[in-house]
Amino acid sequence: MSACRIWLGGIGGRFGGDILFAHNDTGSDNSWNESVSVDASSQSLHFRPMGRASYVGANHDAKLTAKGAAELFWGMLIQSLQG
């Protein structure tokens, strides 16, 4: 059986500024596999992945929508379930 954990946390001195993903549901908040943070361009607000994930199909330079961020984390969970 596989599980994951998703939570709000801070990286690099930001308090609660990131959404973090871990491949297990136990452990400290200092152990995570990927995160996304809110970023802004002159055109939009978007999520930017940290780029730690290495699953197939990951685009670490992407400007993700909320749906795109959810799909990033979902893809990481599914990959771990598939082996």
- Put simply, whether the predicted model's pTM sits higher than 0.75 gets the answer yes
- For 5, the token pair is 């954990």
Q: Please give the residue range of the domain that contains residue 52.
A: 5-82
Are 29 and 7 in contact by the 8 Å Cβ rule? The answer is yes
Q: How many domains does the chain have?
A: 1
Q: What is the pLDDT of residues 31-54, one digit of tens each?
A: 888 999 999 989 999 999 987 765
Q: How far apart are CA 55 and CA 37, in angstroms?
A: 19
SS3 (DSSP) at 29: coil
Quick one: pLDDT at residue 58?
A: 58
